[in-house]
Amino acid sequence: MPHRVQSYVHLHLVSDATGETLIAVARAAAAQYASVRAIEHVYPLVRAPKQLDRVIAEIEAAPGIVLYTLINPELSERLEAKCQEFGAPCVSVLAPVLGVFRSYLGTESTPRIGGQHVLNAEYFRRIDALNYTLLHDDGQMTEDLEDADVVLIGVSRTSKTPTSIYLANRGIKTANIPLVPGIPLPGNLETLNRPLVVGLVASPERIVQIRQNRLLSLNASDDSAYVDRAAVAEEIAQTRRLCARHGWPTIDVTRRSIEETAAAILALIQERRHV
């Protein structure tokens, strides 16, 4: 059976700030086209005509789809005019959204380059959360768990650390505690009041697969309970029993991305606040 040739598209992302918004939107859209490989060209901090000229030259050399977030109307108009010349589709990612805001609120926006990155209270809350989370990773500094917003518990390889970091970037102070056979839990874990404690679980097959890959990458031996399916199944069963005993919610991460797991935890936080 012949292999299907994967096509590609040049994706030019032009921003007067960091470009994070564009990258997220572009990747979400590109993910819907499995047979197309997007070649990203990211141009952050484009705020002057000379900078835009260099971008335009690159678009002309490798035509493709152009997405942009430029507050300066002169730069926006020049980019759109040049793309029209090249026959390259050019879309302002924020324009339709700003249009809805303007229509609903009945007022014009106040243009601010990189407005979402302003050093306000929300920004410092995220930094504080990130600092807390890094210091409380993998069972460290358990004395002040009561200061956390969320405490994640789970056996090895249930994505506790990356989920914690993701939540921290959303301003959620997150600690994570590994559940290791034979190692006692922190004494204060079962008496916490303020934090939401969430158990992360997965299928034994998935955990074993990840652990085996981990051991291979470390050139370590795999003749231990660490990758024994029955032992892993018992670890996960103990996690479920512990959570059930305390009324802590569990999330099965077997087929979830980090983002999906974090979204489920954020929903649990919202639920808890409205109880």
Residues that constitute the known binding site for ADP:
154-161
Q: Does 2 have pLDDT greater than 70?
A: no
**pLDDT, tens digit, for every residue of 210-259?**
999 888 888 777 668 899 999 999 999 999 999 999 999 999 999 999 99
Q: Does 1 have pLDDT greater than 50?
A: no
Mean pLDDT of 104-129: 72
Q: What is the pLDDT of residue 230?
A: 96
Residues that constitute the known binding site:
154-161
DSSP-H helix ranges across the chain: 20-30, 49-61, 73-86, 95-105, 121-135, 160-168, 204-217, 229-246, 258-273
Q: Does 117 have pLDDT greater than 60?
A: no
Domain residue ranges in the chain: 7-116, 121-273
**pLDDT, tens digit, for every residue of 186-198?**
999 999 999 999 9
**pLDDT, tens digit, for every residue of 34-43?**
899 999 999 9
Q: What is the pLDDT of residue 273?
A: 83
Summary mean pLDDT of the chain: 90
Do 166 and 219 touch, CB atoms closer than 8 A?
no
Mean pLDDT of 263-275: 89
Helices (H) and strands (E) counted in the chain, each on its own, are: 9, 8
Q: Does 203 have pLDDT greater than 70?
A: yes
Pick the CATH number of 121-273 from 3.40.630, 1.10.3470, 3.40.50, 2.60.200: 3.40.50
- 7-116 and 121-273 in the same fold: yes
33-45 per-residue burial string, b: 16 or more CB within 10 A, e: under 16: eeeeebebbebbe
Q: What is the pLDDT of residue 115?
A: 58
Q: What is the CATH number assigned to the segment(s) 7-116?
A: 3.40.50.2300
